[in-house]
Amino acid sequence: MPSMGALRVATNRCRTALVWDEAVVGYDLGQGHPLAPVRVELTVDLIRRLGLLGGDVEEVLPGELDEADLLRLHRDDFVATVKRLSADPSAPCDPVYGLGPGDTPAFHGMHPASMLICAASREAARRVWTGEQDHAFNPAGGLHHAMPDRAAGFCVYNDPAVAIDWLLEQGAERIVYVDVDVHHGDGVEVMFADDPRVLTVSLHESGRFLFPGTGHVEDIGEGDARGSIVNLPLHPGTTGGIWLDTFDAVVDPLIRRFAPDVLVTQLGCDTHATDPLAHLALTVDDMAAIYARLHTLAHEAAGGRWLAFGGGGYQLVQVVPRAWTLAFAEMTGGRLDVETPMAWREFALQRTGTAAPTSFTDAPIQLSEAMHEQARRAARDTVEAARSLILPRHGLG
């Protein structure tokens, strides 16, 4: 790959908000936890150093979230427990609430930090819905595993669900939520499982191999909302080409037919081949292609309204900042040099002790032909099942 040059990201300049408050780094599950806040710090620093902000592209604060908005989706006894442990993380807690040793430990300031992330996602939704911006991005958001009654999978409160709920309250009639995180977007799916106004789509590593063990292709919803849940489980070793073919075969036509008022996306980048917690085989170049598809669909199917959150991603220096900066550049219509800024690499080294990548591109992924073929067959089976179970319910062949 060349060390310098122009990397084309998007074609049109769009009014875009980056919703950010330095205080979100208070969402810190502890030293050594995979969901380290430094990954979003490095992302925002990279966006700033590249000059992607300015003019119609603004960095904005989250604003305040009323607890009543949180309680529309999260049970009051669970929220009360989070508040209690937020003041004293060592206090006893019933395991039913999902807080304690393991994936989601309690931490000091947990409630206000979680509320702030929800406020940022709600503010992103507000800016898109009111037309102040075309697109909005909350890189600290995307906590998609949180359930109404418990924390799960590093997630305390479900900020994508809070944003979607707010949009529905404002009069949105049709919303598509697309989750490209390597883990099934189970919390958002659960919160809107009975609401046919919300089409939840999750492309993820199969639950046979990965947390949370859910998201089977046969799970399509019940009753009036049957067909409003779309799960596309993928096999370990799935490459970008296989992933994109799956998206093109099922997700693209569905979004176009559903014609949402807003396209809402969770952009977890733990699908990367080097992610330590999962087993897919995408590159940041593949992720750039995903973001380009989502951008096209936002304009061609959702009136240009695109709301995006971060999510998973545990290569804190090597992948997350590059992936989400590529996403933000796609949203804004910005252009990037292939080479990452030296000043950013120095900052990343200073903050983490890890050498940062010099390029926005990755080398090709090398997989055995047997693994590639296994992933390709599994994806074909998933596509065939989804096309049979889902597409006819939306008037598609």
Query: Which residue numbers are catalytic?
Result: 145
State the Cα–Cα distance between residues 345 and 34, nearest whole angstrom. 21
Please state the φ and ψ torsions of residue 188, each to the nearest 5 degrees. -65, -40
DSSP 247: I
Block residue for tokens 């993928």: 234
Alpha-helical (H) ranges within 20-109 are: 38-49, 67-71, 76-87
Buried b (16+ CB within 10 A) or exposed e, 107-128: beebbebbbbbbbbbbbbbbbb
Block residue for tokens 């062949």: 397
SS3 241: helix
State the Cα–Cα distance between residues 325 and 10, nearest whole angstrom. 13
Can you point out the beta strands (E) in the chain? 6-7, 16-19, 57-60, 135-138, 175-179, 198-205, 229-234, 262-266, 306-309, 336-337
Contacts of 142 (CB under 8 A, 6+ apart): 159, 160, 181, 266, 267, 268, 309, 310, 311, 312
Please state the φ and ψ torsions of residue 125, each to the nearest 5 degrees. -65, -40
State the Cα–Cα distance between residues 396 and 390, nearest whole angstrom. 9
| Strand partners of residue 150 | 147
Q: Are strands 135-138 and 198-205 parallel, antiparallel or unpaired?
A: unpaired
SS3 sequence, 85-146? HHHCCCCCCCHHHCCCCCCCCCCCCHHHHHHHHHHHHHHHHHHHHHCCCCEEEECCCCCCCC
